[in-house]
Amino acid sequence: MITFHTIYKGKHGDTTCHDNPKRAAYNYIYKCATSLGVNYRLTCHADGSYTVYIDGLAPATFEQTQ
């Protein structure tokens, strides 16, 4: 099953909403950073969102679904 999420400009950059943003962030790291073999950084914000920085890619933020 393929799930599509809306990407919008949030306060931390390109943002998508998920039921479990922490899990979505780690899935993104696993699929992108480990397959490309590049460095990454994960930042947790006070509002409960997670931003993933991967070398060579734009930062991606994952927020809790409202």
Query: Whole domain around residue 22: which residue ranges?
Result: 5-65
Vertex 45: Cα angle to 64 and 36 (nearest 5): 85
Q: What is the pLDDT of residues 35-49, one digit of tens each?
A: 889 999 999 999 999
Alpha helices in 1-66 (DSSP H): 21-28, 35-36
* Domains in the chain, number: 1
Q: Is the pLDDT of residue 3 over 70?
A: no
Residue 42 · residue 52 · CB < 8 Å: yes
pTM: 0.81
Amino acid type, 40: Y
Q: Is the pLDDT of residue 2 over 50?
A: no
Encoded tokens for 6: 């809306």
Q: Specify the residue for token string 């480990």.
A: 34
